[in-house]
Amino acid sequence: MGQPEATRAAATPTVGKAMLNKYARAFFTRVLTPFAAFLIRRGVSPDTVTLIGTAGVVAGALVFYPRGEFFWGTVVITLFVFSDLVDGNMARQLGRSSRWGAFLDSTLDRVADGAIFGGFALWYAGHGNDNVLCAVSIFCLASGQVVSYTKARGESIGLPVAVNGLVERAERLVISLVAAGFAGLHKFGVPGIQWLLPIALWIVAVGSLVTLIQRVVTVRRESAEAEAATRQSPSEAAQ
């Protein structure tokens, strides 16, 4: 009797995220399709857009954030983050969706994420002068990489890893970038708003830890179920 309740609880956020992702992507696809078509006509490849987008995010994070320029850094990063939608749009228009493209996109996403949280860490290790928040930023960086790895590794050994988790990549980026952008308004005279970034980093850190635990528990359960099914099959064949 307890299992359906647990299933519903796990499924609700998954459905909500899927719907949000569906409608958000549909909107940006309509907006960015003409631009993607323009780049195709100019002979630009999806891989080039992926590389330029990642380079822009890394530059925005590592040039602006360590100096405390959170507003302008976030503006630059946000502009280049849209390349993640443009390259996929271009690949679909060209009919070139491939394993290589998916691999490159996923790999460079990790590079971009590392640069963003690395930029926060450099600020707090330097002029931000806060070792605790520096450590929290590093934890956000590391845990984000491990959260992604757990799903990829689980799927590579044949498990579905049927859980999204509390804070995935999209949530980590939105929470961190929105908070950083608003925190940057402190330099324009908005009082007290600089505290949004530390609060956001703590939220991302705790959320990433919860997500990591969710995925590890899920992989452990699915692994046990798969091994039990494997042991059961020879006994059924013998009968």
Residue 98 annotated in ligand binding? yes
130 assigned to active site: no
Residue 88 annotated in ligand binding? yes
Residue 47 annotated in ligand binding? yes
Residue 105 annotated in ligand binding? yes
Residue 113 annotated in ligand binding? no
Q: Which of 57, 61, 85, 109 is catalytic?
A: 109
Instruction: Scan for tokens 């460079």, then name that residue.
Output: 108
For 47, 53, 56, 60, the CA distances from 78, given in Å and listed in that order, are 19, 10, 9, 9
Instruction: Scan for tokens 């990489």, then name that residue.
Output: 145
For 11, 103, 165, 228, the CA distances from 159, given in Å and listed in that order, are 18, 19, 16, 13
For 56, 195, 196, the CA distances from 59, given in Å and listed in that order, are 5, 24, 23
Task: Estimate the crossing angle of helix 83-94 against helix 46-59, to 10 degrees.
Answer: 180
Residue 84 annotated in ligand binding? yes
Residue 109 annotated in ligand binding? yes
For 24, 76, 217, the CA distances from 146, given in Å and listed in that order, are 26, 26, 14
Report the catalytic residues.
Answer: 109
- Residues at the binding site are 47-50, 84, 87-88, 92, 98, 105, 109
- Residues at the binding site for Mg(2+) are 84, 87, 105, 109
- Residues at the binding site for a CDP-1,2-diacyl-sn-glycerol are 47-50, 88, 92, 98
